[in-house]
Amino acid sequence: QVRLVESGGGLVQAGGSLRLSCAASGSIFSLNVMGWYRQAPGKQRELVAAITRGGSTNYADSLKGRFTISRDNTKNTVYLQMHSLKPEDTAVYYCGAHLGTWYHPPDYWGQGTQVTVSS
């Protein structure tokens, strides 16, 4: 089993920045990809960004340039740095961990952290 714990969400004004963290524990040796997903009210959960153990990344096209995903394998932690935040970025952000590739849904989910961007 893998446990994922997110932190770093909160309320920020439009144009501001936030950094989310996701700490993994448990059977982390089995994890390949870790990613961030978000779900806004009334919308489906969507991929924000994902990163492999080796550092390859995958971003939602609409977020490239504003969001950066990184991973510290020594700390079993993945980060999401978000800049130039917009009200439409408001959502619950979830950390997901994949045993395989990012082409399939995560095998494990965190509990989510709320990000609210005020205009």
d(CA 44, CA 47): 10
d(CA 6, CA 1): 17
The residue-averaged pLDDT of 21-44 equals 92
Give yes or no for residue 38 having a pLDDT over 90.
Answer: yes
Q: How far is CA 118 from CA 25, 85, 88, 115, in A?
A: 33, 9, 9, 10
SS3 28: helix
What confidence score (pLDDT) does residue 73 get? 86
